[in-house]
Structure 1
Amino acid sequence: MRFISPKSDFAFKKIFGSNRSKKILISFLNAIVYEGKNTIKSLEIIDPYNPGSTRTLKDTYLDIRAVLDNGSTVIIEMQVLNVEAFEKRVIYNIAKAYANQLDMGEQYTRLRPFIALSIADFLLFKNSSQMINRFRLKEEKQLFNYRDELTLIFLELPKFNKGLSELETLSDKWIYFLKAAPSLDRIPESLGAVSEIEEALTIASRANLSNQELEELHKQEVFIEDRRGEINFAKIEQNLKLISLVLEQKFGTINPVIMNKLEQLSLPNLDRLIEAILTFTSWEDVEGWLDD
């Protein structure tokens, strides 16, 4: 048995946003938004995904939208690529969605709270060890809330490193599902014990997809890999320019041997070099770092 990755736009919508996904989405949101508490009893998925309804690879920023039983609306985005101005886009989307509740002349009392849940397959807050970070409008010194109308929640998948035998909480199991579903060859007992996760894995089974859905999934996977390559190439070019500029300002013209070594560095190593470069006092320091 093989499972599709929930991280693609197509798969995420099919698993969490289809007509059969209400119980799945309730369990997932209770785990991530409400820290495992059984807060949400029911919800209504807005514009649910139906097989064959998605035809193109257009950018869809709001993957799923649902109205909860307490009147709040949650908008969920699965983001696999660290695109420019992602954080600004999150703020724009929730502000726009909140404002669009009212037509001209309607009373502000009709406004209901909004929650934006952003799931990132990359690091956003490198200075925070927390995997899930929550933001609201607060008074600057005393930190009390200015109405709980807008809540931003970010889940950073790379910060989750638990194995199957280490899963304890409902949120652990859902996050493991998001990260590890494609590597599974069966439904593990610990995940199958949660009926909603078992159903999510059943939906994610490749055997249950039509040929059209498999083709669409393949197109999105290729698109994502191409975009990831483009983004990484652009970052490598940007880092090389910055490193070259700093080295030339500190030590003069870069000789071809060092330049060739710099051009062979991976993106993570270029990031490390940027952090180390200010400590160098000579070309010997640069060469020593590159040789190491």
Structure 2
Amino acid sequence: MRYLNPKADLTFKKVFGEHPDLVASFLNALLPFDSPEERIEHVEYLPSELVPQTPLRKNSIVDVRCKDKRGRQFIVEMQMVWSSEFKQRVLFNASKAYVRQIAGGEDYELLQPVYSLNLVNDIFEPELEGYYHNYRIVHVEHSDRIIEGLHFVFVELPKFTPHTYKEKKMHVLWLRYLTEIDEKTREVPQELLDNPDIKKAVAQLEESAFTDAQLRGYEKFWDTVSVEKTLINSAERKGRAEGRAEGIKQTARRMKAKGYPLADISDVTGLTIAEIDLL
């Protein structure tokens, strides 16, 4: 048996965008609900509205949107390539979903929470050990004081290891599903297949279930992700290089203003005498 990677747009939307029971199971496992009463029983899908993308990242984001019977909204995004503006984009998306719940003049008490679950196939918090990042709007000095309404969860998939969060069985099983199955998989671990939800989700990944046209689109998605990652990395390197160059020029300007010999400025900054003269 051959399988496709569940993180691709084709497979992610097939699993979580066509099966309400699976996305409900996934959300219950990954969201930080404090009590059993908060669990999601049933969802219905909402239209997907992506905010305008930058040219470098127009194809590397996959999202699924839904709401439960209480009116709580859930935005699930798979972000293949991390970039610095992603958090602002997530905040914009969730805030837009929140304010659109009511029309002008309606009671604010009608507003229901919006949960933004963001799965990142990249490491964006290298200095932090944890892979699970839960953001709320909290009082700076008293973190137990919370403004309800917006919930943000970011999961750094490359950091996840199965031994983490052992007490949360479904949490671990769903993340193993996302991180352990890809085109190289020939045999899915039995502990994943023993769970009915995961077994159903695994069945959606069987290569034989897709048409040739879908498989070509699947390959194109990964090619696009690879190109976008290269472009973003190149842009970031260029930005860092330009920043360093400007920093060197600023240092040279300050030294020149203080009367340092041009030869000394050149030794310190690496700039030529001619370049320093032009500053």
Partner of 2:133: 133
Residue in structure 1 matched with residue 207 of structure 2 by the alignment = 206
**Aligned residues of 2:9 and 2:62 also touching (Cα < 8 A):** no
Specify the alignment match of 1:252 in structure 2.
269
Q: List aligned pairs for 1:45-64, cutoff 5 A.
A: 45-47=45-47, 59=59, 63-64=63-64
2:29 maps to which of 28, 31, 43: 31
User: What is the SS of the residue equivalent to 2:118?
Assistant: strand
CA distance in structure 2 between the aligned counterparts of 1:254 and 1:167, rounded to whole angstroms: 58
The structural deviation recorded for 1:70 is: 3.7
Partner of 2:103: 103
Structure 2 equivalent of residue 270 of structure 1: none
How far, CA to CA, are the matches of 2:97 and 2:3 in structure 1? 33
Which residue pairs with 2:221 in the alignment? 220
- CA separation of 1:46 and 1:35: change in aligned 2, threshold 3 A: same
Residues 152/141 of structure 1: CA separation in 2 closer, same or farther (3 Å cut) = same
2: distance between equivalents of 1:149 and 1:62?
Answer: 23
Matches of 2:23 and 2:245 in 1, distance apart? 49
Query: Residue 121 of structure 1 aligns with which residue?
Result: 121
Cα displacement string for residues 218-275 of structure 1 (whole angstroms, at most 9, x for unaligned residues): 22111111111111222233344455666786833289xxxxxxxxxxxxxxxxxxxx
Q: TM-score, normalised by structure 1?
A: 0.73
| Mapped partners of 1:62, 1:223: distance in 2 | 13
Query: In structure 1, how many angstroms separate the alpha carbons of the residues matched to 2:221 and 2:34?
Result: 32
Structure label with greater radius of gyration: 2
State the Cα deviation string for residues 174-223 of structure 1 (Å, max 9, x = none): 11211221032122211001111111111011111112221221221111
Task: Quote the residue 2:179 is aligned against.
Answer: 179
- d(CA) in 1 for partners of 2:121 and 2:60? 16
Kindly tell me the number of residue pairs found equivalent between the two proteins.
Answer: 243
Matched, 1:22 2:20: yes
Unaligned regions of 5+ residues in structure 2, if any? 49-56, 252-266, 273-279
Q: 1:167 to 1:228 in 2, by over 3 A?
A: farther
- CA separation in 1, counterparts of 2:110 and 2:69? 16
Q: 2:65 aligned with 1:65, yes or no?
A: yes
Task: Output the CA distance in 2 between the equivalents of 1:37 and 1:59.
Answer: 37
